[in-house]
Amino acid sequence: MLGSNNIRLEDFDISPRTGFLPEEPPLQRLQPFYKDWEDIVCQAPALLRAEEFRTRVERLPVHPVSELQSERDWKRAYLLLSVITNAYIWGGRRPAEVLPPAVSIPFIAVSAHLELPPTATYSAMNLWNFTYLQGSDLSVVENCSILHTFTGTPDEEWFYQVSIAIEARGAIVIPVMLKALEAVREDESKTVTACLLEFANCVKESGVILERMYEKCSPEVFYHQIRPFLTGSKNMSAAGLPNGVFYAEGEGKGYWHQYNGGSNAQSSLIQFFDIILGVEHARNKNSDLISIAPGAELSFIEEMRKYMPRGHRLFLQQIASTANIHEYVRRFSINDDITMAYNLAVSKLKSLRDIHIQIVTRYIINPSQKPLRGPNDRVNIATTSSRKISKTELSGTGGTQLMLFLKQSRDETEETALRL
Q: Contact at 8 Å (CB) between 12 and 60?
A: no
Q: Contact at 8 Å (CB) between 161 and 142?
A: yes
CB atoms within 10 A of CB 33: 12
- Rounded Cα–Cα distance for residues 269 and 260 (Å): 19
3-state helix, strand, coil in the chain (%, to 5): 55, 5, 35
- What are the backbone dihedrals phi and psi of residue 80, each rounded to the nearest 5 degrees, phi first? -60, -45
Q: Contact at 8 Å (CB) between 79 and 148?
A: yes
Tell which residue, 23, 31, 228, 36, has the closest CA to residue 128. 23
The amino acid at residue 263 is S
| Angle (deg, nearest 10), helices 268-277 and 336-360 | 150
The torsion of the CA quartet 385, 387, 389, 394, rounded to 10 degrees, works out to -10
Contacts with 392 (C-beta within 8 Å, 6 or more apart), sequence order: 401, 403, 404
Tell which residue, 362, 370, 404, has the closest CA to residue 386. 370
Q: Which residues pair with 395 in a beta bridge?
A: 401
Using DSSP, state whether 127 is helix, strand or coil.
helix
CA distances in angstroms from 418 to 129, 335, 338, 341, 414, listed in the order given: 40, 12, 11, 11, 10
**224 among the known binding-site residues?**
no
Tell which residue, 195, 272, 202, has the closest CA to residue 9. 272
Residues placed in the known binding site: 356
Can you say which residues are annotated as belonging to the binding site for heme b? 356
